[in-house]
């Protein structure tokens, strides 16, 4: 509640009460768009969605590992770190 008060404090507005029968846009404004009914997807659409989401989409981890292995400074730092841990 405090966050909303802080947010709206930046605006200069007046709140006016309108009875339900006069406030015709209230229903449209209060409906969440993600609750709207959507046509049921056919089986082809559902299959494509599953196939798309199950394919790995990035090689970032491998790219970072390769870059670390090729960076001389990082190799030295990792060696120092491993040696320090082994000598404890």
pLDDT digits (tens, 9 = 90+) for 70-84: 999 989 998 998 888
Whole-angstrom distance between the N-terminal and C-terminal Cα of the chain? Answer: 51
Distances from the Cα of 54 to the Cα of 40, 43, 51, 58, 59, angstroms: 22, 17, 5, 12, 15
Residue corresponding to tokens 């200069």: 12
What six digits make up the tokens of 66?
């390769």
pLDDT of residue 70: 93
The structure's pTM equals 0.31
pLDDT digits (tens, 9 = 90+) for 17-73: 888 777 777 766 667 666 666 666 665 555 555 555 555 667 888 888 899 899 999
Q: Which pLDDT band holds residue 1 (cuts at 50, 70, 90)?
A: confident
C-alpha dihedral sign at 43, 44, 48, 54: positive
Which structural domain range is residue 69 located in? 2-86
pLDDT digits (tens, 9 = 90+) for 51-64: 555 556 678 888 88
Give me the number of domains the chain comprises.
Answer: 1
């Amino acid at each position: 509640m405090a966050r909303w008060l802080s947010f709206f404090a930046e605006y200069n507005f007046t709140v006016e009460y309108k009875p339900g029968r006069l406030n015709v846009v209230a229903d449209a404004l209060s409906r969440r768009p993600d609750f709207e009914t959507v046509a049921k997807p056919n089986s082809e659409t559902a299959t494509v969605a599953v196939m798309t989401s199950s394919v790995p989409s990035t090689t970032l981890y491998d790219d970072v590992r390769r870059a670390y292995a090729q960076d001389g400074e990082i190799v030295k730092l990792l060696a120092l770190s491993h040696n320090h841990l082994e000598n404890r």
